[in-house]
């Protein structure tokens, strides 16, 4: 499932912070070395296989620097690029192009890294019916962009924050007095359109959650064998999600249990930035 680009204000806010952090009082190198009116044309080029995400952010970088026409897309968001293939072209004043280079690349490399890792997980579970979900384990301030990148890689966005769904975790259960008490309280307090999900870390808790009418259950830190047992016990009475212990070596085993969703925190909390370069094409 693909999501639309993040709201413009979300992109504009983080880009403004990033540019202020990088430029400060001015780009000393470009201002001292590059002629004031020189032009610069360069291609944002993949240097390894990747799934592309972040082009709207590159546009915003150069818009904020003063040239909204500086960047042209060549590839589409979500595209699979091979080394040497071009994501887009920067064609603008040379000082402006070089001042924005690192900020544009930082965003594009990170977001494409998230999309690439997500696509790898999605491909690994292909044909099983399981969905790959993200989590709230994102870089503070970048959640809208991180989750957008997951969607560009073919993943599905879990709740955005604490405000759009109820997810009862182990500490909530402890504070509420148990699985049944926590579920009852959540359902009584929530609107009908708010999803209520509960985390369980044992088959006994699963049985209690099912008996209490849970429709969305997260199976935390269970092995594939335990998840298979949970799927059999639930027998379609609840949508089941796996979280914890999941990696590329075992995600297929989890998916083949028949579980509905697999959430993967590493998509956003420890992804590797992919290698993309800004390569001059026609010096002017």
Would you please indicate which residues are annotated as catalytic (active-site) residues? Answer: 102, 137, 169, 199, 220
Indicate which CATH number applies to the domain containing 83.
3.90.1170.20
Q: Which residues of the chain have pLDDT under 70?
A: 1-4, 282-284
Number of domains in the chain: 2
Tokens of 202: 């044992």
Domain span at 18:
8-115+272-280
Note whether 254 and 170 are same-domain residues.
yes
The per-residue pLDDT for range 135-162, each reduced to its tens digit, is: 999 999 999 999 999 999 999 999 999 9
- The pLDDT mean for the chain works out to 96
pTM: 0.95
Note whether 92 and 131 are same-domain residues.
no
Residue 234: per-residue pLDDT: 98
The per-residue pLDDT for range 28-41, each reduced to its tens digit, is: 999 999 999 999 99
Residue 283: per-residue pLDDT: 54
**Rounded to the nearest 10 degrees, how much is the dihedral formed by the CA atoms of 168, 172, 173, 175?**
-160
The neighbour count for residue 23, using CB atoms within 10 Å, is 16
Is 1 within a domain? no
Note whether 160 and 35 are same-domain residues.
no
Is 223 within a domain? yes
Tokens of 195: 């999803």
Note whether 134 and 12 are same-domain residues.
no
Which one-letter DSSP state was computed for residue 141? T
């Amino acid at each position: 499932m693909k999501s639309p680009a993040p709201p413009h204000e979300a992109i504009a806010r983080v880009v403004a912070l990033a540019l202020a952090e990088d430029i400060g009082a001015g780009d000393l190198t470009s201002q001292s070395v590059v002629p004031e009116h020189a032009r610069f044309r360069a291609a944002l080029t993949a240097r390894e296989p990747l799934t592309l995400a972040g082009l709207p952010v590159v546009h915003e970088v150069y818009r904020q620097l003063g040239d909204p026409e500086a960047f042209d897309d060549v590839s589409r968001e979500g595209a699979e690029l091979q080394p040497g293939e071009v994501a887009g072209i920067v064609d603008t004043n040379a000082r402006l192009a070089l001042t924005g280079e690192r900020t544009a690349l930082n965003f594009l490399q990170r977001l494409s890294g998230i999309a690439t890792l997500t696509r790898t997980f999605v491909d690994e579970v292909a044909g099983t019916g399981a969905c790959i979900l993200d989590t709230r384990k994102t870089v503070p301030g970048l959640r809208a962009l991180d989750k957008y990148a997951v969607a560009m890689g073919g993943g599905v966005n879990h709740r955005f924050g604490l405000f759009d769904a109820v997810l009862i975790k182990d500490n909530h259960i402890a504070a509420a007095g148990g699985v049944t008490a926590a579920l009852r309280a959540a359902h009584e307090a929530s609107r009908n359109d708010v999803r209520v999900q509960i985390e369980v870390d044992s088959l006994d808790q699963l049985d209690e959650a099912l008996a209490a009418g849970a429709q969305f259950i997260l199976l935390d830190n269970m092995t594939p064998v335990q998840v298979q047992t949970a799927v059999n016990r639930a027998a379609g009475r609840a949508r089941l999600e796996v979280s914890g212990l999941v990696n590329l070596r075992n995600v297929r085993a989890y998916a083949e249990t028949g579980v509905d969703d697999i959430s993967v925190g590493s998509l956003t909390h420890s992804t590797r930035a992919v290698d993309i370069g800004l390569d001059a094409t026609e010096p002017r």
